[in-house]
Chains A and B, each alone.
Chain A
C-alpha cells in the first residue's frame, strides 16, 4: 500500500535542533539583558516552623544589595496555586517545608546577593513535622492548613464489592509503596523579568503554560493581565514539573521592586527541595479472581503525599484512582484515595500523572494472581483485558482503539518467548516479565480545555504557526509543522512555528496530559482549511472569477481551465494591499455526553486512553542482589505516527525514565535532610540502560485525532517499573513491592 501522506509519519529533522547543537539556542538562563540583576532566595532550613521575626537591616547595608523582599512587600496576591491558592510566594508566619522561599534578595552581583542571604536573620520556632501521609491523615496529626491535612478524599464504587469477593476463588492483598521522584529535566527552573514603561513587565519563563504564569504574575503584582507579557525561552525539558510556576512570580516581584531586570535560576539543590515531584504513594491493593483467572473484585486504598502545598495533587489523584484497574474488566470495585498535606517538598504533575503509581500496583498484583492460580502472565491478562465497547469501573466506554490491547499481548508473548531463549550470563539468574498499561489523555471531564492556534501565510509563501502552547523539548513544534504541512500540501521546510509570547499569540492551554499534538494538530488542520478558503476567496476577487471555480492544491491555485498559479503570486498581491492571510481555530477536548459518565468529582473521568505493553529481561546477581535490565521492548499504540523519530524519542526516553523509577531513583530523607543532588539521586546514565532495545509502534487510528493520532508523551514510562519487578520475580522469586528495586530489597534485607 502506498502511503497517502506527504509529510505525516516521516522522520524529519527538527528545525530547532541546529541551534541546539551549536549553542545558539537561548534558554531562559542564557538570554542576554542589559543591566541584569541577580535574584537569590533565602529558604527555610526547617521542615515546619513558625516565623518569629525577620531582620533584614544588616543585609540591606551590604554594598550592591538593591532589595530585600518579604511576603508583606508583595503588592497583590500573596499566595498562588494551580488548583488551590494555598502556596505563599514568600512564606508568611509559618514555613511548611524545608526549602520554602522566605526572603527574596535582589543584588548587583551573585556575591553581594550571597552575602546578603548570609546576613538575613530569620528567627524560627520549630514545630513537630509530619512526613507520612497515613499519619498526617489522622486527626491527631499536626494540622498544616486551616481545613486539615486531607485535601482530597475520593471514594469511587462500581458493582457490589462484597459479592465480588464472595465470587472469588483467590484473593490477594498487598501494599505497594512508591517513592518521591524528581522530574529530572536538565534545565533547572528559571525566569527572567524586565520591568518596562507604563507599569508593564516582560517575563521569560521555562513553563508548560505561560498564560498561567501571566495570570499569577498579574495577580501578585496587582497589575492588569495585559500589562504582563510572558515569553517562552527555549525549554530544557519539563515532564510535568513545569506545569507549576517556575520562579516567574518571584522574578517578576524582583523586577517590579527595583524597576529593572532580574533573573532567578534555581540550583539543582533548590530544584530538588523546592519544586514539585512525583507523588510518593502507598497503595493497599486487594484483588479477587476466579480459578479460571477472571477478576471479580478490586478494593484499594491509596494515600498520596502531596507535601506542603496542593500543587496538582487532587488532579493526580483522579488519574491514579481511575487507572487502578489498569486495562482490565473488574466488575466490582471500591477505591478510596486520599491526598494528604505533609511537611515534605511539594508533589505535583509529572509524566504519567498518577498512572505510574497505579500501574505498579495493578501490574505487580496481576502477575502475583497469575502465579497464585497457576496461569501464564499473558494468559491471565488476555482473560481480563477490556474489549471495545466495554466499560471501565468509572463508567467510561472504551472506543475501537482498545483493539490495541490484544495486539499488545500478542506482541509481548512473542517477545517474551524470544527473551526467554537468550543465554544466561555465568553466575546470574535471568527472568522475563511484562506489564500492560492504559494511560489517559486530557485534563478530565468538566475541566475547561480549549486550545487555540493560528496560522499566517507570509508573503514569501512561508506558513507561520502561532503555536499557543510551548514545545517543552519533546518536539511538539516538529509534530505540528508536519501536520500543518500535510494539511496545506506544502513541504515541511515551508512551515515554521514561532515561540510562544502572550502578547500576540493565541492561548493553546497547557502542554501536558499526552494531548498537545492531538489538540494543536486538530486545531491547525481546521485552521488550514479556513486559510485555504480565505485564500481562494481573495484569489477569486483578484482573478475576477467565483472562488468556487478555483481549487487549491499543494501551494498552487488551479483554475477551471487547468492552469496552475503559484500561491505566492496571490500572497504578493495581497501584501501590496496590506492584507495578510491568517486563520485561527480552537479545538476543545471532546467529552461526548453519551460516553462521559456524569456524577463523578470534577476532573473525572478521563475518556480517551492510550495503550501499551512492555517486556523486560533482567539478569540478577543472586549474591549481590544487583539487577541488570539486559533486554527491553516497548509496544505502544499511537493512533497514527506523526513524526517517526519524535515518537521513537518519546518512547525511548520514557522507558529510560521508567527504568530510573524501577531501579535507581528515590528522593529520600536522610539525617533529616532531603537527598538533593545527582550525587545521591541517580538518574540513569548511558551505561545503565539495556543494550538490547526495541520499540514496536502500533497504529490503530483514533477517530477524533489529527490524521488518527493520539498521545505518546506519558505512557512509555507507565508499564516499565512493574515489567522489571515482574522480571525480577521471575528470575529470583522475590516480589519487590516497594520502588526502587535496590539490591537490598532483592536480597530481602529491608522492607
Chain B
C-alpha cells in the first residue's frame, strides 16, 4: 500500500502528515502527532464520542475519518482549545460544575459542547441532551455536564 501526504490546519497550525491511507485521523493524532487527548473507548466504531474533534466547525468521531478525508480541513483537538494560555470557558465550567470524574470522555464532551454553543449560544436542557447524546459517559450520569454547559453559556464563571 502506498502512503499519501495530506495537509490541514491543526489547532491553527499548518500541518502535513504522510501515512498509509487506511489509517484514521484518530490513529494519526495519537500515534504520529502525539495528541492523545482524543481517546478510543469503543474500538473505532463511532459509538462513544471519546475521540471527538472539531472538523470545519462540526464535531466528528475522529475514528471514523480516514486520513485522506482531512486534506484542506481545519481541525481542533482538545489540545488546541486553550487560547493564549487561557482555559476555554467550557474547560473552566466543566471543572467548576464537577463534570469531570474519570475524564476519559471529557475531551470529546467539551469539544461537542463547544460546537453546540457555537451554533446555539443558549441551548435548552433538551437541546444539550440531544447535542451530547453521542458522547458516552459512565461516571457522571451527564447531569453535571449539562450544568457545566449552562454555566458556560450563561457566563458567571470565576476567573
Contacts and interface: CB of A to CB of B under 8 A. Distances in A.
Interface in B132-159: 132-146
B106 interface: yes
A277 B133 CA distance: 25
A22 B82 contact: yes
Contacts of A691: 125-126, 129
A652 B141 contact: yes
Interface stretch (B2-10, B66-74, B89-97): B89-97
Nearest to B126: A691
A649 B82 CA distance: 26
Interface in B7-50: 30, 34-45, 47-48, 50
Contact of B102 (A29, A187, A652): A187
Contacts of B106: 20-21
B45 A11 contact: no
B91 A22 contact: yes
A624 interface: no
A473 B81 CA distance: 23
B102 A186 contact: yes
B83 interface: no
B79 A268 contact: no
B125 A17 contact: no
A56 B106 CA distance: 42
Interface stretch (A66-74, A229-237, A249-257, A418-426): A229-237
A387 B66 CA distance: 62
Given A11-B98, A186-B48, A269 B103 contact: no
A683 B138 contact: yes
Contact of A237 (B82, B102, B145): B102
Given A21-B110, A645-B98, A678 B42 contact: yes
A506 interface: no
Contacts of A146: none
Given A686-B145, A689-B141, A17 B36 contact: no
A646 B100 CA distance: 10
B140 to A, nearest CB: 5
Contacts of A683: 136, 138
A679 to B, nearest CB: 6
Contact of A186 (B130, B132, B134, B136): B136
Nearest to A239: B138
A653 B40 CA distance: 21
A475 B40 CA distance: 22
A267 interface: yes
B24 to A, nearest CB: 12
Contacts of A372: none
B141 A188 contact: no
Nearest to B139: A653
Contacts of B91: 18, 21-22
A564 B102 CA distance: 41
A657 interface: yes
B100 A21 contact: yes
A472 B141 contact: no
A235 B102 CA distance: 6
B41 A18 contact: no
Contacts of A18: 87, 91, 95
Interface in A1-59: 11, 13-14, 16-27, 29-30, 32
B100 A17 contact: yes
B37 A236 contact: no
Interface in A267-317: 267-269
Contacts of A474: 101-102, 139
A649 B140 contact: yes
Contacts of A23: 35-38, 77-79, 107
Contact of A686 (B42, B45, B132): B132
B54 interface: no
Contacts of A19: 103
A54 to B, nearest CB: 26
A670 interface: no
Given A473-B102, A686-B128, A237 B139 contact: yes
Given A14-B98, A32-B34, A691-B125, A653 B140 contact: yes
B39 A22 contact: no
Contacts of B60: none
B102 A655 contact: no
A687 B129 contact: yes
A25 B106 CA distance: 11
A685 interface: yes
Nearest to B148: A21
A535 B101 CA distance: 35
Nearest to A16: B103
B110 A237 contact: no
A237 B104 contact: yes
A678 B134 CA distance: 11
A265 B125 CA distance: 36
B105 interface: yes
Contacts of B125: 691
Nearest to B37: A23
A687 B43 contact: no
B102 A689 contact: no
Contact of A188 (B36, B41, B135): B41
A113 to B, nearest CB: 14
Nearest to B98: A645
A11 B99 CA distance: 12
A21 B107 contact: yes
A331 B65 CA distance: 62
Contacts of B95: 13-14, 17-18, 21
Contacts of A187: 39, 41, 102, 104
A373 B133 CA distance: 43
A20 B103 contact: yes
A32 B97 CA distance: 31
A13 B141 contact: no
B149 to A, nearest CB: 10
A268 B141 contact: no
Given A652-B143, A686-B132, A25 B103 contact: yes
Contacts of A27: 36, 39, 104
19 contacts: A18-B87, A21-B95, A22-B78, A22-B82, A23-B36, A25-B103, A27-B104, A186-B102, A186-B104, A236-B104, A473-B103, A645-B98, A648-B98, A649-B140, A656-B141, A683-B138, A685-B136, A686-B129, A687-B130
Interface of B: 30, 34-45, 47-48, 50, 77-79, 81-82, 87, 90-91, 94-98, 100-107, 110, 125-126, 128-130, 132-146
Given A186-B136, A268-B41, A678-B42, 18 more contacts: A13-B96, A17-B95, A18-B95, A21-B87, A22-B82, A23-B35, A23-B79, A24-B37, A236-B103, A237-B104, A268-B45, A473-B103, A474-B101, A474-B139, A652-B144, A677-B43, A686-B133, A687-B130
